Amino acid sequence: MEKRIEQFWTMAIDYTPKVIGAVITLIIGLLVIGWITSMIKKLMAKRGVDETIRPFLGSLVNIGLKVMLLLSVASSFGIETTSFVAIFGAMAFAIGMALQGSLGHFASGVMVLLFKPYKVGDLVDIAGGQVGAVEEVQIFNTVLRTLDNKKIIVPNGVVTNNVITNISGQETIGVELTFGIDYGDSIDKARAAILRVGKQCPWILDSPAQGVVVGELGDNSVNLNTRPFCKSEHYWDTYFYMLENVKKEFDKDGISFPFPQMDVHMPAK
């Protein structure tokens, strides 16, 4: 029993400095890695590196340095790093097989960065109907900020496997609008009212010129289509301005917005 206690204290004396040294190395290393990652991001911003790529590269550097730090800490315990790397490689392979979906998201993130279907700040419709401004492209996910300030995290694999609609990435954009009028109202009068509102809108561009056409003779209304163009960042400003002010202009001109209705004829008794 005394021999075992003696062996325990001998091992404790031998390994305590190594454990303390490893903990200190780990803490200092993590702090240094955080500082290096921050400096790299600032340097990329200063050099004008695409804002979409910065978080992605920053994450790669951060993960790579942490792996190197763990190898260094392991070597301080006398573990052969070559064996450790082999073990780590086998573990990485096993984890990779278990996380094939995540690796697919990583590969999709690389594709997004290479082909650039969108960049940070673009208003997009991705992943089957998720609409928002691109806030960040991460290793595995794309982060969107919706108009009502919700944060949506979309896996990159889902993004690349669906149709991507970049709403605002072309600098200018057409705002699709449809206004229904009653069959008894004047088409020319309604067209003039819509164009008048378009002229007053501060965000609508003069070129290409706004037009108004009859898009459909519906069951309850004559539908007039218009597509004014504006700067991409003013899409929603233009959209809401036109909806509100066309309604006000129609009210002034006595033009009505029809709604579904049914005439019921009761037989005389």
- Read off the pLDDT of residues 75-133 as tens digits, 9 standing for 90 and up: 666 655 555 556 556 655 555 554 455 566 667 777 777 777 888 888 888 877 788 88
Would you state the pLDDT for residue 87? 58
Range of the structural domain that residue 147 is part of = 117-166
* Whole-number percent of the chain with pLDDT over 90: 22
Full DSSP string of 117-182: S--TT-EEEETTTEEEEEEEE-SSEEEEE-TTS-EEEEEHHHHHTS--EESSTTSEEE--EEEEE-
Same domain, 81 and 45: yes
Q: Is the per-residue pLDDT at 198 higher than 90?
A: yes
pLDDT band for position 243 (cuts 50, 70, 90): very high
Would you state the pLDDT for residue 98? 46
Residue 104 lies in a domain: no
Q: Is the per-residue pLDDT at 235 higher than 80?
A: yes
Q: What is the rounded CA–CA span in Å between residue 35 and residue 38?
A: 5
Would you state the pLDDT for residue 263? 59
Residue 103 lies in a domain: no
Would you state the pLDDT for residue 158? 79
Number of domains in the chain: 3
Interior angle at CA 244, CA 213 and CA 126, nearest 5: 75
| Chain mean pLDDT for the chain | 78
Same domain, 21 and 80: yes
Highest mean pLDDT among 132-146, 239-253, 255-269: 239-253
User: What mean pLDDT comes out for the span 199-207?
Assistant: 93
CATH at residue 185: 3.30.70.100
Residue 106 lies in a domain: no
CATH at residue 29: 1.10.287.1260
116 or 11, greater pLDDT: 116
Residue 216 lies in a domain: yes
Q: What is the rounded CA–CA span in Å between residue 75 and residue 79?
A: 5
State the pTM of this model. 0.52
Residue 209 lies in a domain: yes
